[in-house]
Amino acid sequence: MRVIKDKAIIIESSNIQRADKLIIFYTMNHGLVKGVAEAARRMKSKYGSCFEPLTSVEISYLQKEDRELVTIQEAVVISSVSQYGKKPEYYFFIFYSTELMKEFAVAGKNIRFYKLLEAIQAGIKRDVALSLLARWTEIQFLHEHGIIADWKNCAVCKKEIMNGNEVRFFSPEGVFKCNDCYQIKDIQVKQEAFLLMNKLLYVKIEQLETLAVNDRLLKRIGSILKVTIQHHVEKPLRFYEFYRQINNDNR
């Protein structure tokens, strides 16, 4: 049994028995952690708004060797993005991004993944268009998880495919193929979408808002990336069904 103090970013909280909450959070030094915050649902809880999604906290928790869940003892807010949630799209983004965080969280300490979560916070605070931030987030999670790497060459024959005259196909595995190597399951990707996907792979969050994009292109890229996300997660994400229902979207 030991008490651990660390910085963390809240991913999700849910109500459990009595007045308690189950909290999923990603720590700077210990990776993904799940824990119980006792009495966190009470009106005058000492935790206040600590467990809102994408809130950075200083957290203390008790860890027992034979228990999967830790017991949260204290949490203090460092920074929050909840004050930026003035538009409905914000809640869609939070719902979606936190679901991706749970699926793609890297086990154990991983400072790069923690910094990626901080970058998503920064994107919200910088008022980056959430449709653009969502595409960047998807690509960065896939990259951090080792699913996508370099898109400059065909994944099969290694031919360079950055030339504007190339016909490119995107595979559910997360790689691009040339016109000679693609399979029937692969999706043809036009030049405009291909170039933006490459930019989103390498651009820093501070430069993201400088990209010239449009909603049509972002929606197309989202449809392409959805195939890869579903392929690797191997189950339908709750967000996709929720989004389809509220938009009467049958895609």
CATH 2.40.50.140 range(s) for the chain read 2-80
pLDDT the model gives residue 243: 62
User: Does residue 242 carry a pLDDT above 90?
Assistant: no
| Band of residue 251 on the pLDDT scale cut at 50, 70, 90 | very low
Write the pLDDT tens digit of every residue in 170-225.
999 999 999 999 999 999 999 999 999 999 999 999 999 999 899 999 999 999 99
Kindly state the helix (H) or strand (E) to which residue 239 belongs, with its residue range. helix 238-247
Write the pLDDT tens digit of every residue in 54-96.
999 999 999 998 888 999 999 999 999 988 876 778 888 999 9
Report the mean per-residue pLDDT for the chain: 90
Query: Is 243 in contact with 249 (CB distance < 8 Å)?
Result: yes
The b-or-e profile of 11-25 (16+ CB within 10 A means b, else e) is bbbeeeeeebbbbbb
Whole-model pTM? 0.90
Strand, coil or helix: 10: strand
Level-2 CATH architecture, domain 84-247? Up-down Bundle (1.20)
- Say which CATH superfamily domain 2-80 falls into: Nucleic acid-binding proteins (2.40.50.140)
CATH 1.20.1440.120 range(s) for the chain read 84-247
